[in-house]
Structure 1
Amino acid sequence: MADRRRPPVILQVLPGLQAGGVERGTIEIAAAIAARGGIALVASNGGRMAPLVERAGGRHVTLPLRTKNPFAIWRNAGRLARLIRSEGVDIVHARSRAPAWSAWLAARRTGAAFITTWHGVYGEDLPFKKRYNAIMARGERVIAISAFVRERVARDYGVDASRLRVVPRGADLVDFDPNAVRADRIAECARAWNVPAGSAVIMLAGRITPWKGHALLLEALAMLGRDVPDWVCVLVGAEQRGRGHGARLVAQARRLGIGQKLRFAGHVDDMPAAYGLADVVVVPSLKPEPFGRVVVEAQAMGKPVVVAAHGAAMETVQHGVSGYLFLPGDAASLAATLAHALTLDATDRGNLGHWARAGVAACYSTQAMQAAAIAVYDELLPGRPGAPAWRVSSS
């Protein structure tokens, strides 16, 4: 039980902090905890984003939480239990399955509250996989990042509404503001990616892995007609090592006759500038996206988005108003939708950008995500439900 005479202590656990939306969300919630007077701890295997925890006002603890080895998971439970006791942790918030098993065991040993966040819909194709996944359904509160995920968790894992909460991921409306991104930052992206002056930029931002739909996009691009402005396609995101998917995309683009139009940007730190360069941002995922942070970031930048019509895209994109939807897996549908988005006149493009950003501001900002997460924490802190901020008693 939390001592109301001291700040609440929240520990988030995840495999690592190398790159990705889960990692960014962890840091953003750490910042929200610190801003409200709480103590924000993050335990992970570390990575390039680990220093950002300290910058956000939290503290990072390096533990080998990436492992899926059962014996190592058990040992990590002991490590986490010692951390919980030494730091007086009130709530342990697990964001991935292997760390969640360790965190759940540690919470049971120490009496800390246990919360989970489902950042995706996990596969169940291997024996015992559903049982492994089910740890994420054991939280005293179970957070889903979209209504799509909530429905799957409730249906497949029997989590009742009294424990389920939806906390959509968000875009930072300060960072992702088209009026705040300097022209020189956008120009630097254009130089780095060898984008010819006057060419439209079609961007896909996401890890280079087959289910993200890169190959489908290339197939659709080869179908674009002569009435579409000259274009280049920029793929933003790191490739999974040793998979060779990037090489296959290069070979595919050459076969389709569009090899000269393809650019690989790799990992990009300045995503607001990257979106600023884009004329259209495409999310052609072959599997339903559990949320799709790229969509709301691009919308916050006032950019037209073209998104496969399944998963959480049905929540974040209003077709023809804040973006465009196409038939999932259908290259011809994607090509036609892309052509329409690329040939919008200035008025229609401006209207689309206005409503896209307005939709993010209303429902999908970082601030809204942070407030919703804090509200879930408050439910498990004594005397806190509905309280607007954390305060420490004077005695």
Structure 2
Amino acid sequence: MTRITVICNDSDYFLRHRLHVVERLSATGADVTVITGGRPMAKPTAGWRHEHMPIERFSFHPVLDAKVIRRSLRHFRTEKPDAVHLITLKPAVLSGLAALLARRLGNGPRRILVTIPGLGRLMSPSSTRQRTADRLARSMVDASIRFLSSQAGVHFTFETAEDRDDWLNRGLIGRHNSTVISGAGVDPERFYPAADSRVRSPVRILFASRLLKAKGLDAFVETARHYSGNRKVEFLVAGMVEPHDPDRYAPELLEREGAIKFLGEVSDMPGLLRSVDLVCLPSRYGEGIPRILIEAAASAVPCLTTDLQGCREIVRHGVNGTLIPPGDPGAMAASMIAAIDGYLADPELLDRQGRAGLELFRNGQFREDAVTEQFVRLLIDEGRAAGGSKPAALLPG
């Protein structure tokens, strides 16, 4: 039986984006343990185990990070997994180091799979972080990733070719040990178009993401204020509260904001998408492929988003949505207002772009089952190869 450990920095992210991979691994007969930071999860019922491990998500903290390394090392030496899947940057650096230490001690995982969903606010080439501490953190991460990549049986996955190319050009990884997998996958049995494709009145515009300024929520609210009192358009905000993120947008401000309707966390996202006409995500930092944009395409809803690498993977300007340049909130709001005015002047454009987005989804590698099988192959098939006498046969780029 193949033993696999999955480590992710946040339980909410894991449940939304990676649960289906673990369920598929378990269905193959693998013995899977999931370790997450963030909020403790309810006891799983699908044949895999869960452990909670505090992980500081928003900065590098010497004491807390050392505890993550120690606890990861203890887990690897006790449970002896054949493969580990490290999701997001912190687990890659900290638990990746622990996995290599466990190898040196004679019982570490043969296969180490690192998934970088997006380069984020620290590692993105467009990052505006210039503090000395941030530059030092980037240098430490670079050195750690470069060392990890040099070891046998280590493989990296990215959601966009541009993110992968950035790390290739910086010499952090190799072309032979990295792969691009299109997002986390969306299930078309859950996300599908509304039966009635008629454009509604008012036109309903949805922001659905984490409640962060870096996600463009400040620009979205400024845009909504421009249309305050206009009965032809309605602005909705749905998303998770990030109480410890310094970039958070306070939910109490959204509740008092008269220009938008604040929905909070929504459990029925497929149903919500079938009730709106346009999804808006004016993000300003290093995304992977934002899941909400893939869900919108599967639901035949056009998107208004930023001209950044991850967003461009699923949104084609003028085809299934509109791309606007990144910038300060005021400039982005002006671009969004111009785009929304165009949609209001030609409401049928929403329907045409929605249908084009559905076609892009169906023709791309965005289905949940396709994404899942790529991870299963990397963790199980390639992991078995890594355990043999020859080096693992790593997937081509």
TM-score by length of 2: 0.78
Residue 114 of structure 2: SS of its match in structure 1? strand
User: For the residues of structure 1 that align with 2:98 and 2:368, how far apart are their CA atoms?
Assistant: 30
Instruction: Give, in angstroms, the shift of residue 167 of structure 1.
Output: 1.5
User: For the residues of structure 1 that align with 2:333 and 2:68, how far apart are their CA atoms?
Assistant: 46
Alignment partner, residue 376 of structure 1: 378
Candidates 140, 160, 163, aligned match of 1:132: 140
Structure 2 residues not aligned, in runs of 5+? 124-129
Candidates 306, 309, 313, aligned match of 1:311: 309
CA root-mean-square deviation: 3.2
State how 1:190-269 maps to structure 2 within 5 Å.
198-223=201-226, 230-241=232-243, 245-246=249-250, 259-269=257-267
Question: What letter is aligned with 1:33?
Answer: L
Evaluate the alpha carbon distance shift between residue 43 and residue 201 of structure 1 in structure 2; reply closer, same or farther with a 3 A threshold: same
Alignment partner of 1:104 is 2:131: no
Alignment partner, residue 173 of structure 1: 188
Alignment partner, residue 37 of structure 2: 45
Which deviates the most, 123-132 or 198-207? 123-132
Instruction: Give, in angstroms, the shift of residue 250 of structure 1.
Output: 5.4
Alignment partner, residue 75 of structure 2: 83
User: For the residues of structure 2 that align with 1:306 and 1:115, how far apart are their CA atoms?
Assistant: 33
1:199-226 deviations in whole A, cap 9, x for unaligned? 3211111122211112222333455599
Alignment partner, residue 155 of structure 2: 141
Contact 1:27 1:56 in 2 (8 A): no
User: For the residues of structure 2 that align with 1:50 and 1:96, how far apart are their CA atoms?
Assistant: 22
User: For the residues of structure 2 that align with 1:289 and 1:144, how far apart are their CA atoms?
Assistant: 11
Question: What letter is aligned with 2:365?
Answer: C
User: For the residues of structure 2 that align with 1:95 and 1:171, how far apart are their CA atoms?
Assistant: 18
User: For the residues of structure 2 that align with 1:36 and 1:270, how far apart are their CA atoms?
Assistant: 29
Question: What letter is aligned with 2:308?
Answer: H
Alignment partner, residue 126 of structure 2: none
Alignment partner of 1:352 is 2:353: yes
Evaluate the alpha carbon distance shift between residue 201 and residue 55 of structure 1 in structure 2; reply closer, same or farther with a 3 A threshold: farther
User: For the residues of structure 1 that align with 2:45 and 2:318, how far apart are their CA atoms?
Assistant: 39
User: For the residues of structure 1 that align with 2:258 and 2:62, how far apart are their CA atoms?
Assistant: 48
Residue 176 of structure 2: SS of its match in structure 1? coil
User: For the residues of structure 2 that align with 1:337 and 1:248, how far apart are their CA atoms?
Assistant: 28
Contact 1:28 1:56 in 2 (8 A): no
Instruction: Give, in angstroms, the shift of residue 50 of structure 1.
Output: 4.8
Alignment partner, residue 282 of structure 1: 280
User: For the residues of structure 1 that align with 2:222 and 2:93, how far apart are their CA atoms?
Assistant: 42
User: For the residues of structure 1 that align with 2:195 and 2:378, how far apart are their CA atoms?
Assistant: 32
User: For the residues of structure 2 that align with 1:315 and 1:216, how far apart are their CA atoms?
Assistant: 22
Contact 1:13 1:93 in 2 (8 A): yes
Residue 316 of structure 1: SS of its match in structure 2? coil
Percent sequence identity over aligned pairs? 23
Instruction: Give, in angstroms, the shift of residue 281 of structure 1.
Output: 0.6
Alignment partner of 1:60 is 2:53: no
TM-score by length of 1: 0.78
Number of equivalences? 354
1:264-323 deviations in whole A, cap 9, x for unaligned? 111112111221221111011123433211111111111111111122112211222222
User: For the residues of structure 2 that align with 1:206 and 1:35, how far apart are their CA atoms?
Assistant: 30
Alignment partner, residue 24 of structure 1: 16
Question: What letter is aligned with 2:291?
Answer: R
